[in-house]
Structure 1
Amino acid sequence: MELDAFITDKKTLKLIERAREFAMSFFEREGTHGFSHVERVFNLCMHIGREEGADLEILALAALLHDVARPLESVGKVEDHAAEGARIARQYLRSLGYPEEKVEAVAHAIEAHRFSRGPEPATLEAKILSDADKLDAIGAIGIARVFMYSGEHGRDIEASLRHFEEKILKLKDLMYTETAKKMAEERHRFTEEFIERIRREIGGEI
């Protein structure tokens, strides 16, 4: 993404680039929650944020830093990657002399992005980050991620399809912003069509 299409201030662009490099340092390998996921969420946040009139600086930093603690959670070093990620973001941004009010805005968005547990997002930027994170689990990318996860954890096709029904197909109705709701409709429809098709093929239909 050409970030300067969204943010033109050179000082802000430099800050965001530093945050990107810092965030990348936490990811040693790819996977369903690798840095490619972070970049997709970042891109979604910029598009949604522009449409919704969000503070794009706060949103960009929150998006880049939202999963820095995910690798730690995956190996059992932390229990809640959102809470730990907020702590890491606070420490990092304060080390740069970032204004405290903005530090807290970024940290809140990170802490509230996980839809399956609190806190509830209280700001527009937090709602957009939560929406973008959920959008990356729906549609073509979402389908690819489900089966990547299944491959990583030895889960068969039927178990993967149950995951779609128990979680992925419910995400459409959990969006906060109007922009994300519209995007989710199309991604949801694509996911439903895929599930219908794969079930037909499992049953031996042409």
Structure 2
Amino acid sequence: MQNEIDAMLEHVRTVLQGSGAHGFDHTLRVVRLSEEIGAREGADMDILIPAALFHDIARPLEERTGALHEEEGARMAEAYLRSIGYPEDRIAAIAHAVRAHRYSTGIDPATLEARVLSDADKLDAMGAVGIARTFMQAGERGGGIPDAVDHIRAKLLNLKDLMYTKTAREIAAKRHALLVAFLAALEEECVPAQ
């Protein structure tokens, strides 16, 4: 199994060559969080880890064409997994987890593995890494500090209440506290525009 995971990792790395808020480093963090949460929650790692690896593989395609990365990513995962002879009974569950990981699309994660992946992805948007990614994303879109702060207030502060698993809720509480403290410090340091 480890050889298959290593091959998947290399495949995803070749597709996600660019850096950015949703680059390969994000995928690696989501995999690590999925491993941590999945182990504590009793998830099937033969479903969860491939889903975590493939969850954002279609982000570059979404940025170029507007195609939903969760839908295209699920298709890409299915095609790749079939090409390496991955057990067919696991492919549908992996594709579901990829499709359901993006909370804003409204697809209900119907399996434990889909819920863990959704939680891991949301957790990477919180805490110190989430703050860094938010500012990266604002810069990628030509924005500045106010744009990043708006995103933190509109989205990231709501994430702790959207966690599915007990383990993720515990991690989210700490990361949420950091977000709140960061915003307070930033507000104190910023001079209002004249």
**TM-score interval, smaller chain:** over 0.9
3-state secondary structure, aligned to 2:125: coil
Counterpart residue number, 1:17: 6
Equivalent pairs, count: 192
**Structure 1: how far apart are the matches of 2:35 and 2:157?**
24
3-state secondary structure, aligned to 1:116: helix
3-state secondary structure, aligned to 1:98: coil
CA deviations over 1:155-189 (Å, ceiling 9, x no partner): 12122111111111001100000000000000000
Counterpart residue number, 1:196: 184
Report how far residue 14 of structure 1 moved. Answer: 0.8
Residue 109 (1) aligns with residue 126 (2): no
- Taking the TM superposition and a 5 Å limit, the aligned residue runs for 1:18-57 are 18-57=7-46
Unpaired runs of 5+ residues, structure 1, are 1-11
Identity score, percent = 49
Instruction: Give the alignment's TM-score, normalised by structure 2.
Output: 0.96
Q: CA RMSD in A?
A: 1.1
Instruction: Give the alignment's TM-score, normalised by structure 1.
Output: 0.91
3-state secondary structure, aligned to 2:81: helix
Unpaired runs of 5+ residues, structure 2, are none
Residue 160 (1) aligns with residue 148 (2): yes
Q: Show structure 1 runs of 4+ deviating over 2 A.
A: none
- Taking the TM superposition and a 5 Å limit, the aligned residue runs for 1:95-174 are 95-174=83-162
Counterpart residue number, 2:63: 74
- 2:52 pairs with 63, 73, 77, which one? 63
Report how far residue 100 of structure 1 moved. Answer: 1.6
Contact 2:46 2:90 in 1 (8 A): no
Counterpart residue number, 1:184: 172
**Structure 2: how far apart are the matches of 1:111 and 1:118?**
10
Report how far residue 196 of structure 1 moved. Answer: 0.4
3-state secondary structure, aligned to 2:43: coil
Return the letter of the residue paired with 1:85: G
Report how far residue 56 of structure 1 moved. Answer: 1.1
**Structure 1: how far apart are the matches of 2:180 and 2:106?**
28
Q: Decide which structure has greater helix share.
A: 2
CA deviations over 1:32-53 (Å, ceiling 9, x no partner): 0000000000000000000000
**Structure 2: how far apart are the matches of 1:176 and 1:66?**
17
